[in-house]
Structure 1
Amino acid sequence: MGIGVRGIRGLAVIGTVFTGVVFGVFAAAVASAPSAYAQASQIVVEGNRRVEADTIRSYFRPGPGERLDAAKIDSALKTLYGTGLFQDVRINQAGGRLVVTVVENPVINRIAFEGNKKAKDEQILLEIQSKPRGTFSRATVQSDVSRIVEIYQRSGRYDVRVEPKIIELPNSRVDLVFEINEGPKTGVAKIVFVGNKAYSDWRLKDVIKTGQTNWLSWIKSNDIFDPDRVEVDRDLLRRFYLRHGFADVRIVSAVAEYEPSRKGFVITFTIEEGDQYKFGSVDVQSSVSAIPGNSLIDRTRTKPGNVYNADMIEKSVEDLSIEVSKRGYPFAVVRPRGDRDPAAKRINVVYTLEEGPHVYIERINIRGNTRTRDYVIRREFDIVEGDAYNRALIERAERRIKNLNYFKTVKFTNEPGSAPDRIIVNVEVEEQSTGEFSVAGGYSTADGFIGEVSIGERNLLGTGLIGRASVTYGGRSRGFNLSLVEPYLLGNRMALGVDIFGKEITSTQYTSYTSKTYGGGLRLGIPITDNIGFSARYSGYRQEIDLPSEYKNCNNLTPVNGTTYPTNIDAVSSDGVNTWRTLGFSQNCYYDGEASLPVKMELAQGPVFVSLVGYGLTYNTLDNNKNPTSGLMIDFKQDLAGVGGDVNFLKSTVDGRYYQEILPDVVGMLRGQAGHATGWGGKDLRMLDHFQGGPNLVRGFETAGFGPRDQTSGTTQDSLGGTMYWAVTAEVTTPLFFAPKDFGMKIAAFVDAGSVWDYTGPTYWAQTGETLDLGDSSGHSVRAAAGVGLIWDSPFGPLRFDVAYPIAKESWDKTQVFRFGGGTKF
């Protein structure tokens, strides 16, 4: 027989009413009964099967003189019901005896779940209190229904319905079946901001993690309502405003209301922004006599006149704490204080240095890491057990552990140690998946369609190692890459990477030759400060080029030393064949004027091995590496080839980008690029080691579309590149306001200008008598283009569509008005 959830509720109500009536009648009976009935000399138990009679009698505790008054009997009756062992309990007095008649709850034979697809049976069974071979209790089942509903609500399904059914079996046993109607996921129908004036809804939606439900919801999960995520969003909004000068900001409320008509939640964030402040005076006051405050001013990151930024204050406290500790005062405490000047919209910041209590870290406990090794977490601390306790350094460790992205949650707590000057630091973590399997696909007008399959692990075997293997295949290129990175080399904050790679590129309309590159490398990354990083690298690779068959016919061969070679190699005399092979041509007739002279000379040289070392310096103050709105990034690199191998060159490049919000939601970007390459050690720079001009410098031109080019009549007129280049870009981006925020669409307007010049490769080949007709090597010709672009952070990966019109070019340049590129991982 099945009993629904409403049936159980009804039975519970009836049972409660019935029990109350029984209590009342019984109490009245006892009160009116002679005193002999109140002195029960014997308790008789009836109806019990599994529970011993003595166990039931033990709940009746008479007072002095074996007297059982109404209060004692009433207490025993309630206690028996409270055990959950009995479906019904009745107490009567007859002939000086107390008769207790019980109806035991049945035993659960099995528990089954029907209709659950999003939650596994094992997961639900762990959450509920009812267990197979346990006692069936209607109250417990009612509680289990609530627990199951909670499981689904945590995954965003608020329309779930759970109905328990009871199937009675012989011998007082039952099967308990939970019928579950999971319902659809309950999404976020709308996100509303109230009170925001400085920043638009679009910008604030980019700050929070919760997104709105739309047609892209089938491939994302941030649009599912999660009250915990909403609380996180509330803190993210507050920190965002504090980073941008709004020191008085208050996120008054974050209210989520379910709207049946929308079948989703409407989340409303109410904000009181306040005024935007700048830093006024900055001072350091020290009560430690050996450390004058003015000696620490240069260690602060808060500069007068800059927009107020709470993050800079927090980092300044960390830097000051570390500096003071290095000077021999590990217990010193740095406390920031901000004095507001509302009229001038300034905050004067004072860092107070005091000698804090002498407290040591007795122990650091790490719990919850079932997979990640302890040392992977401990190495994020700048202090160890036995060191002086410093709250600023503990907060830095917490931030670093969260940034590892190995854990769903990270929580730091403290507790007293074994002595008053000892403290225990507890770190509670919850593991999350760190593996990645992806299939990527993309298309660009330069490389055509390309696909990639990769597998990666950010926390290999729980050791913190980063491993990745990928294979790419496309219409014009194919290759593979294997990499392994140790982020902490020899216990220091240095990252060592090992790479093995291979790539083949076929001939295209931009180049007449194909190339094959196979090799490997080592790289070392060292963070100098939070904003400055240093990297060193070594690469060794074998490089070979070839020509397609259409450039290898043997017609119209150029005479060599007065000898004309026939079409058929077999007809050549032995001397002719030797001469042929001396030139390195064997039976490949590619020196008949079709391919460009430098290409043929590279081909005659054969495969080469390139061995190079390099380093890089990066300065990065971007507020967001993915979608920056402010900050500066400068990347300088140098590579020296010739540490062994067949090729000698020195290349230097610099790339700088500056972002600034011009108007709300309108971000301007200025970019500058430059590079120089030269041969050394008596070796000329190969054609393949020159810089090529293309859309990476000036949009509106094809890959290798401008710069020095072979102008010899009858040849493929390959782009030869130059030893120097420069390029500048000015771009403005803004969201498409008519498109939903989750579409991630922006429009850009840009102007590019640049030049590539100074080809230094071969221009004459004495063995064939060929001379190169070189165009555009002076550097006086500047290319420029203007255009617009559509940027889409789509579910298929970042996509960009650019339409650029060259406004300054040469007649031999290869232009490309439309360019598209993008890809994804799924």
Structure 2
Amino acid sequence: MTDRKIGKGALALISALAVAAPAAMVPLPAAAYVFSNVRIEGNQRIEPQTILSYLDLQRGRDVSGGDLNAALQRLQNSGLFEQVALTPSGGTLVVKVTEYPTINKIVFEGNKRLKDENLAEIVKSKSNRVYSPAQAEADAAEISKVYASQGRLAARVDPAIIRRDNNRVDLVYEIREGDVTEIERIGFVGNRAFSDQKLRNVLQTKQAGILRTFIKRDTFSPDRLPVDEKLLTDFYRSRGFADFKVQAVAPELARERDAFYITFQIQEGPQYKFGNINTISEVPGVDAAEFAKQNRVRTGDVYNPSVIDTTIRRMEALAINKGLNFVNIEPRITRNPRSHSLDLTFALTRGQRIFVERIDIEGNTTTLDEVIRRQFGTVEGDPFNQREIRNSAERLRALGYFADVQAESRPGSSGDQVIVDVNVEEQPTGSLNFGVSYGVSTGVGFNASLAERNFLGRGQEVNLTFSTGSDNQSSGFTFVEPFFLGRNLKFRGQIWYNTTDRYNSDYNTRSVGGLTGIEFPISENGRLELRYKLSKDTLFDVDPIEVDPESGELDGSSPILYMEQGGYITSALGYTYSYDSRIQGLDPLNAYRLRFAQDFAGLGGDVKSVNTTLYAGGESRAWRESVTFLAEFEAGAVHMLDDSDSRFLDRQTGNGKIRGFEPNGFGPRDLNAPNEDALGGNYFWALRTEMRFPIGLPEEYGIAGGLFADAGSVWGLDNTVGAYGEEVDDSMHVRAALGASVFWTTPVGPLRFNFSKAIAKEDYDLEQSFDLTISTKF
């Protein structure tokens, strides 16, 4: 028998005729009709008693035409019959039915993105059950929804049937998946202070570009729009636009359903600056002057809600320390439209006496309760502070352990108590990454890492890494406990094993060691780490100076390096003070970091020295935040104790400190030795400046440009005896380079192309005019 497929249009026609035809074709009596017998024809699987129950008409009683029509509709709507007819024949009511066929099998055609087994879980039509056109249509709609959730809004799913023997059919879902319905354009109406390009960078949703095959954020998702509205609002208000509003978001689907156009209608309002700042107390006996010292808002600064929140937190902490419970800090803002300034008054007011009865935590199946509770500055029995609860929820979100965090309060067992409900939704916190890297100097390398940010649900970090290049290898293990001994102490333990094999040199190195340290805050933005390090660093396979018997030429490395061969154990106590303005994040346009570290070696081991390093870095955005300026300065010094000389592995080599030079490419060098290997130096400094800017391409392409200028030097040796008893030049010669960069964010990782030219160098320095770096995870 030839297969005959009945498509969606035919199914709809069949369904319509099954309902309409009986009412139109069956002669129903105009007057009352009485029947004493019912004859059922055409049923094969359905029991007569089931048909009579749907018919619901009494024998021997008057039945009107309306009653017969209602009975007809009940039978048809039962979903059991493809056709139904009621025919009065004397005292007999003839019920003729055509049953829906049984589904022989279900087939999916045209699907590539979704597997058959996944689609089978979606559809409710099943093999060996009665076929229902309505259910087949509903299944097709559900399949279309799944494709729409993946951005394929143009997908079409048409159910069709193939008639088989014995009143059986094959149910076929014909699927045309179509292309991804991408966001072709994101536009803004009402923006004057910032360009469309800048605002698009703020959004989580992205336009489609040349990388649309890989970038999935260019598919439309209604769930992202509220997030985008909040991101825009936070962006504008942190830059002084206190009246900013997103008035409407209009997503528009193209007629062909192959593209979305999203328009944000916004109202910027004026940019405000802080005017008069005051602190007053409306609580008897509380001096406002003490609280005014905690103020971080300055007259003339651009309005930023974060600065106000920081000041309120500081004032609330002072109130708690002074034992002043139920004191609220109320910010009162007065707008001055003419001057575009905001007068701000911090008012100390008496709040309601409400206590926290308990904190209920739900949703955490892996993360321990104590990990969540330690982010709350409030415990059971403390005065209730709604702001502190919100801040605690933000700290929980920042951990990265949860996809969502909700913290709400509700009335407790009495009028002066509340219950805080914390609902979290956990998300995966572990990752297994494999990647490839490339550098002109290092060549192609491979790396692998296994990381877990919430180990055993305790909030601990575990990281195992391994990487290899053409002439170097490194591996390490790191363990971090962020809340050591139940306090705000970060414990860090680390071990490593690193080697280099003729890495732009004529020698090999090996370093194996471990480190342990405790880090804690000493100010709002400052932290201090105390640590102990134990390592064994080995310099080996240094080429000795030899005479080639055939040519008579010398070959080999400097006697200085040759004499420093061997392994040396370093046992050192150290500390690092770091300051990062981004911790408080009060200024969204500017950030700076400071770091000062010292390590004192000599607590056992073979090395006795003091190693000091300094780092200062800053970042600033200008010209409507389209241009970013970066500057970094670092310096260091190694001072040997007990009249000992520094060794190569103790000294600085300048690797990576100045662009435009190869690794081991500058610094003191024994020019009398044939191989002229770099010797390193006891001192170094480096200044790196950079400017990054758009180059006119659409931002979804991920391509930007940059200019940089670097300068620095490595100098100073304790032993300057050359190959022939002559001194090595270890003077502080300044090196400098200028260059341009191209940044390209691609699916295979961030690419950076550096083109540089050394403008200040020594004759023996090794330049590197081009560098390409790539790093990715997959």
Scaled by the length of structure 1, the TM-score of the pair is 0.81
Q: Taking structure 1 as reference, are residues 133 and 364 closer, same or farther at Cα in structure 2, changes over 3 Å only?
A: farther
Partner in structure 1 of residue 727 of structure 2: 773
- CA deviations 1:145-204 (Å, max 9, x no partner) are 222111111111112111223456677765544332222222222222333222223322
After TM superposition, the structure 1 = structure 2 runs for residues 386-785 of structure 1, keeping only pairs within 5 Å, are 387-412=382-407, 420=415, 423-509=418-504, 511-527=505-521, 531-548=525-542, 551=544, 553=546, 594-603=556-565, 606-622=566-582, 630-664=590-624, 665-681=626-642, 683-693=644-654, 695-696=656-657, 698-711=658-671, 713-737=672-696, 739-759=697-717, 761-763=718-720, 771=725, 773-777=727-731, 779=732, 781-785=733-737
Partner in structure 2 of residue 11 of structure 1: 14
Q: Taking structure 1 as reference, are residues 387 and 740 closer, same or farther at Cα in structure 2, changes over 3 Å only?
A: same
Structure 1: how far apart are the matches of 2:13 and 2:315? 67
The yes-or-no answer on 1:199 pairing with 2:160 is no
| Residues 356, 379 of structure 2: 8 Å contact kept | no
Structure 2: how far apart are the matches of 1:245 and 1:400? 24
Output the amino acid matched with 1:7: A
**Relative to structure 2, which stretch is displaced further, 400-409 or 94-103?**
94-103
Structure 1: how far apart are the matches of 2:527 and 2:338? 40
| Residues 546, 556 of structure 2: 8 Å contact kept | no
After TM superposition, the structure 1 = structure 2 runs for residues 192-271 of structure 1, keeping only pairs within 5 Å, are 192-259=187-254, 263-271=258-266
Partner in structure 1 of residue 338 of structure 2: 343
**Relative to structure 2, which stretch is displaced further, 323-332 or 241-250?**
323-332
CA shift for structure 1 position 634: 1.8
| Residues 520, 527 of structure 2: 8 Å contact kept | yes
**Relative to structure 2, which stretch is displaced further, 437-446 or 82-91?**
82-91
Instruction: Structure 1: give runs of 5+ residues left out of the alignment.
Output: 557-566, 568-591
| Residues 623, 630 of structure 1: 8 Å contact kept | no
- CA deviations 1:346-370 (Å, max 9, x no partner) are 1223344441362535442422x55
CA shift for structure 1 position 221: 1.5
Structure 2: how far apart are the matches of 1:100 and 1:537? 92
Partner in structure 2 of residue 561 of structure 1: none
SS in 1 for 2:603: coil
Q: How many percent of aligned residue pairs carry the same amino acid?
A: 33
Partner in structure 2 of residue 807 of structure 1: 759
| Residues 364, 385 of structure 1: 8 Å contact kept | no
Output the amino acid matched with 1:358: I
After TM superposition, the structure 1 = structure 2 runs for residues 51-90 of structure 1, keeping only pairs within 5 Å, are 53=49, 57=53, 84=79, 87=82
Structure 1: how far apart are the matches of 2:415 and 2:6? 60
| Residues 536, 615 of structure 1: 8 Å contact kept | yes
**Relative to structure 2, which stretch is displaced further, 147-156 or 123-132?**
123-132
Structure 1: how far apart are the matches of 2:16 and 2:712? 83
Structure 1: how far apart are the matches of 2:512 and 2:456? 29
CA shift for structure 1 position 254: 2.6
SS in 2 for 1:542: strand
Structure 2: how far apart are the matches of 1:98 and 1:529? 93
Scaled by the length of structure 2, the TM-score of the pair is 0.86
After TM superposition, the structure 1 = structure 2 runs for residues 121-136 of structure 1, keeping only pairs within 5 Å, are 121=116, 123-130=118-125, 136=131
TM-align CA RMSD: 4.0
SS in 2 for 1:499: strand
**Relative to structure 2, which stretch is displaced further, 383-392 or 670-679?**
383-392
- CA deviations 1:217-263 (Å, max 9, x no partner) are 33322222222223322221221111111112222333222336794
Partner in structure 2 of residue 574 of structure 1: none
| Residues 507, 539 of structure 2: 8 Å contact kept | yes
- CA deviations 1:652-694 (Å, max 9, x no partner) are 2222122222323122233222222212355443232122335
SS in 2 for 1:142: helix
| Residues 629, 689 of structure 2: 8 Å contact kept | yes
Q: Taking structure 1 as reference, are residues 429 and 89 closer, same or farther at Cα in structure 2, changes over 3 Å only?
A: farther
Partner in structure 2 of residue 573 of structure 1: none
Output the amino acid matched with 1:537: R
Instruction: Structure 2: give runs of 5+ residues left out of the alignment.
Output: none
| Residues 181, 257 of structure 2: 8 Å contact kept | no
Output the amino acid matched with 1:616: T
Q: Taking structure 1 as reference, are residues 68 and 152 closer, same or farther at Cα in structure 2, changes over 3 Å only?
A: same
Q: Provide the aligned length of Structure 1 versus Structure 2.
A: 766
Structure 1: how far apart are the matches of 2:371 and 2:120? 34
Q: Taking structure 1 as reference, are residues 396 and 171 closer, same or farther at Cα in structure 2, changes over 3 Å only?
A: farther
CA shift for structure 1 position 501: 1.7
Structure 2: how far apart are the matches of 1:19 and 1:235? 58
| Residues 622, 629 of structure 1: 8 Å contact kept | no
Output the amino acid matched with 2:210: W
| Residues 339, 349 of structure 1: 8 Å contact kept | yes
Partner in structure 2 of residue 589 of structure 1: none
SS in 2 for 1:237: helix
Output the amino acid matched with 1:824: T
**Relative to structure 2, which stretch is displaced further, 140-149 or 315-324?**
315-324
Structure 2: how far apart are the matches of 1:95 and 1:333? 89
Q: Taking structure 1 as reference, are residues 795 and 551 closer, same or farther at Cα in structure 2, changes over 3 Å only?
A: farther
After TM superposition, the structure 1 = structure 2 runs for residues 284-363 of structure 1, keeping only pairs within 5 Å, are 284-289=279-284, 291-328=286-323, 331-352=326-347, 353-356=349-352, 358=354, 360-363=356-359
SS in 2 for 1:304: coil
| Residues 623, 629 of structure 1: 8 Å contact kept | no
Q: Taking structure 1 as reference, are residues 154 and 33 closer, same or farther at Cα in structure 2, changes over 3 Å only?
A: same
